[in-house]
Structure formats: C-alpha cells, structure tokens
Amino acid sequence: MIVSRSSLDFRTAQATLSPMDTSTSRPHFLSIQEFGTIYGVGKTKVYALINAGVIDARKVGRRTMVTAESAQRWAASLPVKQPTRPGR
C-alpha cells in the first residue's frame, strides 16, 4: 500500500489534534453561542469582549470560536459579589 506524505501528515495531525482535552474531557474551544449560554451573556457582549481583547478567539472557517482557557480566565477575573447588609 502506498501512502502519500500529505495524507499521512493529515491523519497524524487528525489523531493528535482533538477539539477535546482528553485529560479532562473539556473542549478547547467554545462557540459564541456556547460561551454566552455558559456564562450568561449575549452574543453582542461576547463579540465586544473579543474586540476589546479581553477573551481570545480563533476563526474556524466562518465560525468564531472562543478559547476555553481565555473564557475561564475571564470568568475568574470577574469581581466577587459582596453580601449586602440587611436593612440597607
């Protein structure tokens, strides 16, 4: 069987590059909709965060995908809500 170098490279890359982190079974990328659903923000806010450089995104064809790592960093950077005193 003759295998061309380009098809071998593609299969090797396909086997080693997975959109899922196998050690934790979490995706490396989130779609705009997934990010919004998980973090409770709208599509406009997600694009504003990307354009401000607050979260990292990559293009996959026509789709914009947010890196899971930057999404987690953003969530961790949000301020903690302090409890309010009763009667105020």
Least confident of 4-8, 48-52, 63-67, 81-85: 4-8
How do residues 20-76 score in pLDDT, each as one tens digit? Answer: 454 556 679 999 999 999 999 999 999 999 999 999 999 999 999 999 999 999 999
**CATH 3.90.105 matches 21-76:** yes
20-33 tens-digit pLDDT: 454 556 679 999 99
pLDDT of residue 77: 96
| Residue 46 amino acid letter | V
pLDDT at 24: 58
DSSP letters for 27-88: ESEEEHHHHHHHHT--HHHHHHHHHTTSS-EEEETTEEEEEHHHHHHHHHHSPPPPPPPTT-
Predicted structure pTM score? 0.65
